[in-house]
Amino acid sequence: MNRTLIYRISEKDSPCTVESFLKARGYSRQIIIQLKKNRDSIKVNGGWAYVKTMLHTGDSLIIFMEELQSSEHILPVPLPLSIIYEDEDILVLDKPADMPVHPSINNYDNTLANAVAHYYRSAGEEFIFRCINRLDRDTTGLLIVAKNALSASILSAQMKERQIHRTYLALCDGSLPAPLGTIEAPIARKETSAIERCVDFEKGEQAVTHYKVLKTCRNITLAELHLETGRTHQIRVHMQYLGAPLLGDYLYHPDFTRISRVALHSFALEFVHPITGKPMCFHVPLPDDMDKALHLSS
């Protein structure tokens, strides 16, 4: 998606080259290379400029990022799309259950990417699907989609530095050992499975999960969870390790009498806006199926 950004050069940034100014604001090497290819991508005080052009206090720098490609292999499909927030740079979505994020074998037209492609195709806009944080097919809740290469680059760096904070809600079958706690148990791939993970203190990678008990009803616990690390199936494995596996977890606790999917929800999302630098915070309530399962146990 095309994006135009205008910068006024301050005294603390002057003098510097266009390239050094952009790098300091999160422009990747690849983005800068693309800017160099288009004569209209970089302008200083209204005139065409090079990446080596010097900038001085008071200069106006205009950057035009043109989207030259689209996610052409993602089929636009009119699927439900719950938009929590949207501006020129980001899209925050509330993903439903039973929806993969990306297309894959046997999932070509039922994904979040298909829904987003249809949303922008309907608006006559080309779009590359750049999802920043991922959720499993059955996990509901908040996701960030970057609408241009720059916001994707900056948000991806935030993810790598663990500066995007996610809070999960889960329904656990059983009670947790304390109202507040931290699980430090390394996770590894289970030797007998290509998919399952397990706690393995010899071969596992460090995994840390913080939990807080919010409510307990007839041996069902509603827990708030924060991840310090991001291992595959981390919450699911750690809850099983504590003896309170997630309801409806087909891999680690296949009991579907109270809910038909893994009872895990990405409830809150906090991050810094990639362009404005403004703190962003979003919350979405517990989905109906998890709320119903909890109240049935009351």
* CA gap 86, 147 in Å, rounded: 9
CA–CA separation, 266 and 216 (whole Å):
20
Write out the E strands in the chain: 3-8, 16-17, 42-44, 47-48, 54-55, 60-65, 83-86, 90-95, 130-131, 140-146, 165-173, 180-184, 187-189, 197-199, 208-217, 220-227, 264-272, 279-283
A 10 A CB-CB count for 216 gives 16
Question: Which of 106, 100, 158, 157 is CA-nearest to residue 129?
Answer: 100
Report the catalytic residues: 136
- Rounded to an integer, what distance in angstroms lies between the CA atom of residue 97 and that of residue 136? 9
What is the Cα–Cα distance from 108 to 165, expressed in whole angstroms?
Answer: 30
Which of 3, 4, 294, 33 has the alpha carbon at shortest distance from 146?
3
Q: What are residue 144's DSSP bridge partners?
A: 92
Distance CA 19, CA 23 (A): 6
Cα radius of gyration rounded to whole Å, the chain: 22
208: β partners: 184
Count Cβ atoms below 10 Å from residue 230 Cβ, excluding itself.
12
